[in-house]
Amino acid sequence: MAQEDNKVVNYYDSIANQYDESRFNNSYGRFIDYEERRILDKLINRPDHAKCLEMACGTGRLTCYATHALDASHEMMKHAMARHPDVDFCQASAAETGFENETFHTIYSFHLMMHLEPTLIKDIIAEAHRILKPGGKFIFDIPSRQRRQLLHHKQESWHGGTHLSKSEVLEMSSELFDLGRTCGIMMLPIHKLPTSLRKSMRKLDFALANSPIKQFSSYIVYELIKR
């Protein structure tokens, strides 16, 4: 299987010390964090005995939902390990985790797939299937192709460069998984709203992003269920 592209790992190694402050210690980052946590609260039901893996844990912002976590960036993962001493960590590619077959009940991954080529995303889906127990769930986010087409988005770099439609996700996963729930993140153009209004718009935005027009949200979260 292919490994995460070295440029992605090197980039996150280089910004690890500033990542939390620059990305999430502001009104825009807290907006995204709020919606992602609401979705994980809904999709992850972890009994005491269940094993839950976070792929690409980064600095550990969302690692509180996991029993195990991995990241290809050692520098990012150092921060996660300090935040969550009770979680088992390993440095590994999401496409080659090294875990035994049928280890986990749930796997989740945010802010990873959007940096990767579709062939590598397909490899990661296959790896998640291998290490999930039957009936286990793989939860991940990806920028919405419909949203980007609607806004005539032009991507200038690999960072957040990959977007998929629901049909493309199904094509990648349908031999291994059934589609469960889908959720949207960030419908409104939050970056264009005054900073003072962003917090008050969270609930409205979340409702719109999880309404019948969810496919036009900035990101779609997919819940895949292993057959």
The yes/no answer on whether domain 6-226 falls in CATH 3.40.50.300 is no
Q: Percentage of residues in the chain with pLDDT exceeding 70?
A: 98
Nearest to 202 by CA among 31, 86, 63, 44: 31
Q: Percentage of residues in the chain with pLDDT exceeding 90?
A: 89
Over the stretch 125-180, which tens digit does the pLDDT of each residue have? 999 999 999 999 999 999 999 999 999 888 878 888 999 999 999 999 999 999 99
What does the block give as tokens for 180? 């469960």
Could you tell me the pLDDT band of residue 4, with boundaries at 50, 70 and 90? low
Mean of the per-residue pLDDT values for the chain? 94
How many angstroms separate the CA atoms of 56 and 66, rounded?
Answer: 12
35, 51 contact by CB (below 8 A): no
- Would you kindly state where each structural domain of the chain is located, as residue ranges? 6-226
Pairing mode, if any, of strands 68-71 and 88-91?
A: parallel
Helix (H) / strand (E) containing 138: strand 132-143
pTM for this predicted structure: 0.94
Nearest to 226 by CA among 173, 149, 188: 173
- Which of these ranges, 29-38, 39-48, 158-167, has the smallest mean pLDDT? 39-48
Over the stretch 46-94, which tens digit does the pLDDT of each residue have? 777 899 999 999 999 999 999 999 999 999 999 999 999 999 999 999 9
Segment 28-54 shows an average pLDDT of 92
